[in-house]
């Protein structure tokens, strides 16, 4: 592998950095976008059960907030109702929508960076290709000015071809998986956002029954 990197020349090092960064982002998102950390299936039912008669204590609300991202959104409704038991439905809904936007921001963390890598990697590969072509033409021009054979300098010619092909291939090898994982995580985030939106709507209706 190191011999390939050496043959590809210095233009491949930005691609190597992109590949390492993309791998780190993919691993981080795999661990962060697990269902128990985002929207546990039974959390909404449990929150509605413990608040069937009244708003739960601050300790219970704090535990709910630390449970998951959906727990943060539901806890914001409890806190708003604790702070003002006569809060209007519109204000209660706005409070939970604000918490939902913060949760959405956390869900989408690093996805823009992964998308940028997927877009930039082919361009970096193209840059390496162009540099390799320059190496090729440079070897031909040098051979012509020296009055040598038409074939030019074989070593420089081989080096230019290696730089061009290796960078093109490596750029695609970085971009394609990054694009696939970005689309996969994007679909996951969209699904979680829909789940949290529906759960929040049900929870607002439930909290309306607790308002004095």
pLDDT in tens, 157-212: 666 777 778 888 888 999 999 999 999 999 999 999 999 999 999 999 999 887 76
Residue 6, CA atoms < 13 Å, CB-side half-sphere: 3
Q: Taking Cα atoms as reference points, which of 121, 129, 125 lies closest to residue 182?
A: 121
pLDDT tens string 76-125 = 999 999 888 888 889 999 999 999 999 999 999 999 999 999 999 999 88
Contact 71, 64 (CB under 8 A): yes
Element (H, E) at 5: helix 2-8
Q: Taking Cα atoms as reference points, which of 191, 187, 203 lies closest to residue 39?
A: 191
Cα distances (Å, whole numbers) of residue 38 to 23, 54, 55? 22, 25, 23
| Count of positions (residues) in the chain | 212
Q: Taking Cα atoms as reference points, which of 33, 36, 102, 105 lies closest to residue 73?
A: 102
Element (H, E) at 62: helix 58-67
Q: Give residue 5's pLDDT band: very low, low, confident or very high (50, 70, 90).
A: low
The number of distinct structural domains making up the chain is 1
Q: How far apart are CA 32 and CA 39, in angstroms?
A: 12
Residue 195, CA atoms < 13 Å, CB-side half-sphere: 20
Estimate to the nearest angstrom the gap between the alpha carbon of 68 and the chain centroid: 19
Range of the domain at 183: 2-208
Q: How far apart are CA 66 and CA 136, in angstroms?
A: 60
Q: What is the pTM of this model?
A: 0.82
pLDDT of residue 150: 44
């Amino acid at each position: 592998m190191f011999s390939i990197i050496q043959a590809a020349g210095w233009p491949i090092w930005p691609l190597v950095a992109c590949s390492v960064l993309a791998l780190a982002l993919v691993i981080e998102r795999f661990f962060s976008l697990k269902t128990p950390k985002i929207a546990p299936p039974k959390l909404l039912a449990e929150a509605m059960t413990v608040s069937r008669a009244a708003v739960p204590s601050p300790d219970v609300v704090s535990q709910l907030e630390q449970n998951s991202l959906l727990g943060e959104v539901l806890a914001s409704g409890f806190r708003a109702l604790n702070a003002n038991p006569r809060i209007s439905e519109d204000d209660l809904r706005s409070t939970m929508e604000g918490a939902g936007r913060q949760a959405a921001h956390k869900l989408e963390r690093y996805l823009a960076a992964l998308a940028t890598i997927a877009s930039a990697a082919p361009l970096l590969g193209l840059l390496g290709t162009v540099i390799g072509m320059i190496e090729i033409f440079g070897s031909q021009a040098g051979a012509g000015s020296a009055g040598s054979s038409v074939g030019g300098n074989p070593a420089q010619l081989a080096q230019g071809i290696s730089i061009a092909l290796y960078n093109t291939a490596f750029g695609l090898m970085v971009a394609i998986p990054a694009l696939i994982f970005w689309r996969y995580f994007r679909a996951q985030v969209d699904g979680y956002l829909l789940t949290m939106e529906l759960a929040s709507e049900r929870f607002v209706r439930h909290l309306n029954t607790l308002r004095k």
